[in-house]
Amino acid sequence: MSEKSPVNWEAIEAKPEFRALLAQKKAFIIPAFTFCMFYYLALPVLVGYFPEMMKKKVWGEVNVAYVFALSQFILAWVMAFLYVRVAARWDKSAAAVIHGHD
C-alpha cells in the first residue's frame, strides 16, 4: 500500500494546462453554486417578505410558491445534467495533463 504513485503530481501541478483546468472548473462551479444558493434561498425570503405575491393562484389551488418550489427540483436536474457534461470535458483535459498530451 505504500507504493509510490507513478504520476509526478508536483510536476503536473506546475503545468500551465493544469492551472487552466482549475480556472475552468472554478469559472463554472462558483457561479453555478452562487446562482443555485440564491435561487434556493429566494423561496423562503419571498414567502417571508412578499406573502401576498406568493399566495397568488396559478392553477386551481396551486400558487406561485408551489410553482417556485417545484422549479427548484427542475433546477437541480438541469444543473446536474450541465455538470455531468462539463465534468466529462474536465476529465478528458485532466487525462491529457496527466499523460502529457492534449
In the block, which residue shows the cell 506546475?
A: 14
More confidently predicted of 38 and 102: 38
Dist. CA 44–CA 94, nearest whole Å: 39
Flag whether pLDDT at 53 surpasses 60: yes
% of the chain exceeding 90 in pLDDT: 80
In the block, which residue shows the cell 397568488?
A: 56
Domain ranges across the chain: 9-99
Flag whether pLDDT at 11 surpasses 60: yes
% of the chain exceeding 70 in pLDDT: 93
Dist. CA 36–CA 38, nearest whole Å: 6
Radius of gyration of the chain, Cα coordinates, nearest whole angstrom: 21
**∠ CA 84-96-7 to the nearest 5 degrees?**
110
Dist. CA 28–CA 34, nearest whole Å: 10
Cell of 20: 487552466
Q: Kindly list the distances between the CA atom of residue 10 and the CA atoms of 13, 28, 85, in Å, as whole numbers in the listed order.
A: 5, 25, 28
Bridge partners of 57, per DSSP, are 63
